[in-house]
Amino acid sequence: MARAVTSRRKLINTGIAWAIGLLIFFPILWTILTSFKTEAQAIASPPLFINFDWTLENYGVVMERSNYARFLWNSIIIAGGSTILGLIIAVPAAWSMAFVPSKRTKDILLWMLSTKMLPAVGVLYPIYLLFIQLGLLDSRAGLVIVMMLINLPIIIWMLYTYFREIPGEILEAARMDGATLKEELIYILTPMAIPGIASTMLLNFILAWNEAFWTLNLTAVDAAPLTAFIASYSSPEGLFFAKLSAASTMAIAPILILGWFSQKQLVRGLTFGAVK
Amino acid sequence: MAHTADTDFKTRLQSWLPKLVLSPSLAMVLVFVYGFILFSVYLSFTDSRLLPSYGWVGLENYSKLWRLSHWEISLTNMGIFAALYITICTVLGLSLAIFLDQKIRAEGLIRTIYLYPMALSFIVTGTAWKWFLDPGIGLENVLQTWGWTSFEFDWIKDRDFAIYTVVLAAVWQTSGFVMAMFLAGLRGIDNEILKAAQMDGASNWNLYRRIIIPQLRPAFLSAFVILSHLAIKTFDLVIALTGGGPGRATELPATFMYSYTFTRNQMGIGAASATIMLMTIAAIMIPYLYAELREKK
């Protein structure tokens, strides 16, 4: 919606918008800044903004003491593994529903998507018990599977909405020209589907990276990812403010970067496609 | 001949392939979501404690659950939390969207910043807020050392106010996301109608009140449904921010269920609470999804 706005007004609005933006971003910014302070500077009064001696000391300490690398590696394996596994299963399913829909397709989608909205506690027992039985507790493989399962409906749904945007006429034209199903898939669909698949991948990676309910419940030491690592800094103690900040910064850095590229996917995915 | 056989094969392939590739996903959702939910619901009718047990006790767990003050506190907290969270996020989200819609420089950049908190893990933001809100080292301390010595902000330690700190952190996390939903709604409004109304001399206020906001009905509905299901699912944030405390002051149904299952070994009662949560969400979500999908046909 565009309305005539004077340029002075626009400037003022922009200023206010930035002020609000700064306010919203402040907790994140402050965490990042604090991570570069010494513990004494972190709780100094009055607080120091940027005029302190920047140090990487906290990062060194956190990495050394807490085995940060292992948490990070677990996060990467769990988020990456579940995303790839999920795509392998979801791409054919979404392809089938988008291009060869049957009468039931809408109902199946609705039925699948509805599961994503149910609280995870509803399936916690069975999964927990199954994990004990199969010896999957605190294993990366187990978490990869669980993350894949809980995000599968949203992956299928996202892919479906992206695939639906590929014009069917192109496929028909290719068929008329005598393209086989294989050729159709490889030369026509795949290139057109890649942006949608990439978007879905990004969203799913972020969702899996941030997931905490399952990681807290199903991991202890070996498979614990960064969310569990952060949760271990549970009691505020002035002495460790800078180290907590360094740990948090390391946990959110990948998301701050990925988030930049994925805002559209985030809104689309989290609203179940209501906002494109 | 070869050609016909080939075509034949192709036709057959094309008829069964779609169903074949869809079936693993269907089977997984069927077993791991619906199957497991049914199992949980079943457990809620049994005398399971530390481990599942299959002694049928009917509705006993439900009647026990409703007599627990712990559950009552969780529900009251849920009521306070959901009402405030949904209302504040909607109002803030809509205001921010209307504001950003006024042609602002570098809008894309600002939108991303507003949306950032939602991209972060509730565990990370919850932990950060816990430190900020801690009277000893956070906001209270900062403002006191800046000379405002009478400033007090210890809600997170106060039984009567701790739940509002959960609201604060949750609102911070989600408002930008709600804004994005409303902004998309605003951008979808037909410009012609607005121009016509402006020509007729409608004031800005009337324009919003009578034309724009009524047209945002679908956005309001989506925001309401998505915020309510987020509210009922809230778990990580409370765990990171307050751990349900002080005392039980910030317990929500999800944290209640967690503690009854894993620390109190009352699986039957925990399952009963999970069943109630599932039914509540289903009652809100299913009509919405149904309407949403039907519309887009």
Which of A13, A43, A82, A125 should we substitute to test contact with B (largest number of B Cβ atoms within 10 Å)? A125
The predicted model gives A227-244 an average pLDDT of 73
Tell me which residue range forms the domain holding A88: 66-232
B93 C-beta neighbours (distance < 10 Å), count: 25
For B184-207, how does the pLDDT look when each residue is reduced to its tens digit (9 = 90+)?
Answer: 888 888 778 878 888 887 787 888
Chain A positions touching B35 (Cβ under 8 A) are 126
Domain boundaries, chain B: 67-296
For B226, nearest residue in chain A (alpha carbons): A271
Q: Hey, what amino acid is at A12?
A: I
Q: Would you say residue A126 lies in a domain?
A: yes
Q: Hey, what amino acid is at B228?
A: S
Q: Would you say residue A213 lies in a domain?
A: yes
Q: Would you say residue A261 lies in a domain?
A: no
Distance from B83 to chain A by nearest Cα, in Å?
Answer: 19
For B16-60, how does the pLDDT look when each residue is reduced to its tens digit (9 = 90+)?
Answer: 777 888 888 888 888 887 888 888 888 888 888 777 777 788 888
Q: CB distance B121–A28 less than 8 Å? A: no
User: For residue B81, what pLDDT band results from cuts at 50, 70 and 90?
Assistant: very high
What's the rounded Cα separation, in Å, for the pair B265 and B174?
A: 34
Q: Would you say residue A268 lies in a domain?
A: no
Distances in whole angstroms, Cα of residue B64 to Cα of each of B37, B47, B72, B270? 21, 12, 12, 11
- Is any Cβ of chain B less than 8 angstroms from the Cβ of A274? yes
What's the rounded Cα separation, in Å, for the pair A109 and A157?
A: 7
Calculate the dihedral angle through the C-alpha atoms of A54, A57, A63, A64, rounding to the nearest 10 degrees: 170
- Is any Cβ of chain B less than 8 angstroms from the Cβ of A6? no
Q: Which of B118, B127, B254 sits opposite A266 (nearest CB)?
A: B118
CATH number of the domain enclosing A152: 1.10.3720.10
For B279, nearest residue in chain A (alpha carbons): A118
Cα torsion angle, A204, A206, A211, A214, sign: positive
The predicted model gives A30-51 an average pLDDT of 77
Strand partners, B46: B56
In chain A, the number of structural domains is 1
Cα torsion angle, A46, B137, B234, B84, sign: negative
User: For residue B297, what pLDDT band results from cuts at 50, 70 and 90?
Assistant: very low
What's the rounded Cα separation, in Å, for the pair B177 and A272?
A: 13
The string of DSSP codes covering A69-110 is HHHHHHHHHHHHHHHHHHHHHHHHHHHHHHHS--TTHHHHHH
What's the rounded Cα separation, in Å, for the pair A22 and A28?
A: 10
Out of 3.30.750.24, 1.10.3720.10, 1.20.1260.10, 3.10.110.10, select the CATH number for domain B67-296.
1.10.3720.10
The answer to pTM > 0.80 is: yes
What's the rounded Cα separation, in Å, for the pair B237 and B266?
A: 24
Q: What angle do CA A19, B114, B188 make, to 5 degrees?
A: 115
Q: CB distance A120–B233 less than 8 Å? A: yes
Q: What angle do CA A119, A121, A127 make, to 5 degrees?
A: 120
What's the rounded Cα separation, in Å, for the pair B246 and B57?
A: 34
For A140-170, how does the pLDDT look when each residue is reduced to its tens digit (9 = 90+)?
Answer: 889 999 899 888 888 888 888 888 888 877 7
Counted residue by residue, chain A has a size of 276
Contacts (Cβ under 8 Å, ≥6 apart) of A248? A31, A35, A230, B124, B127, B128
Q: Hey, what amino acid is at B107?
A: E
Q: Would you say residue A27 lies in a domain?
A: no
